[in-house]
Amino acid sequence: MIAIAERTFGVLALFAILITVGTVVALTTRRVPTWLSGDVALPLATSIAAVATVGSLVLSEVAGYTPCTLCWYQRIAMYPLVIVVGVAAWRRDRQVWRTALPLSLIGAIIAVWHIVIERRPALGGGVCDPAAPCAVRWVEEFGFLTLPTMALIAFAAIATLTLAARAAPASEGDRRVDEHPEEATEPAG
C-alpha cells in the first residue's frame, strides 16, 4: 500500500515537472495562454499544494516516516499554500503571487538545502535531530525523486503557476484589485 502511494506521488511529481517546464516556457516567451489564466493555473497550484500536504501527512502518519527538522520547515511553507492559493482560486485573485511566491521560494530554498544534506550528510552540521536525521531517504522513486526533491518540484510548480496566473490576459470575471479596486469589494449591505 505504501509502495503504491510512493509511486503515485513520484508519478505526480513527474507531471508537476512537465507543468513547471511548460509554464516557465510560457512565462519566458511571454506567451501565457488564456486557458492558463486563474481559471486553470490557480486551481492547479492549489491541487499541487493539497497533494503535497496530504502526501506528507500520509507518509508520516500512515507510513510512519519520521519527519526531520527540514521536513517540518518545508511543511510550514507548504501547508498555508493550500489555503492561500485555494482562496485566491475561488476569488479569482490573480495577485496571490505576492503571498504564494515568498512561501514557495522559502520552501524551495529549504528543500534544496535538504537535498544537499541527503547527498552530503556531513554538511548537515547539527541541523537535524539525531532521532530524525535529514540524510535519511525514506523515498527514492525513479532513482532521483526523494521527499525533498518532490517538495522542491511542488514549490516550483506553485510559484510558476501563480506567476502565470498573474501574467495571463485577464478573463471576464477576474478580480484584479490593482486595476479595479472598486470592483473587488462587495458593497455593504
Domain boundaries in the chain? 2-167
d(CA 74, CA 37): 27
What mean pLDDT is predicted for residues 87-110? 94
Residue 118: the pLDDT is 85
Which stretch of 58-72, 99-113, 128-142, 164-178 has the lowest confidence by average pLDDT?
Answer: 164-178
For the segment 33-60, what is each residue's pLDDT rounded down to a tens digit? Answer: 777 765 899 999 999 999 999 999 988 8
The predicted pLDDT at position 38 comes to 57
Q: Is 175 helix (H, G, I), strand (E, B) or coil?
A: strand
Long-range contacts of 69-73 (CB under 8 A, 24+ apart): 69/127, 69/128, 69/129, 69/132, 69/134, 70/110, 70/111, 70/113, 70/114, 70/117, 70/127, 70/128, 70/134, 70/148, 71/114, 71/134, 71/147, 71/148, 73/107, 73/110
Mean pLDDT of the chain: 82
Residue with cell 486553470: 40
pLDDT at res. 37: 65
Q: Would you say residue 184 has pLDDT above 80?
A: no
3-state DSSP call for residue 19?
Answer: helix
Tell me what the mean pLDDT of segment 74-100 comes to.
94
Contacts of 123 (CB under 8 A, 6+ apart): 116, 117
Q: What is the pLDDT of residue 177?
A: 47
What pLDDT sits at residue 36? 73
pLDDT digits (tens, 9 = 90+) for 125-156: 666 776 676 667 767 777 778 889 999 999 99
Please, is 91 exposed, middle or buried when counting C-beta atoms within 10 Å of its C-beta (0-12, 13-18, 19+)? middle
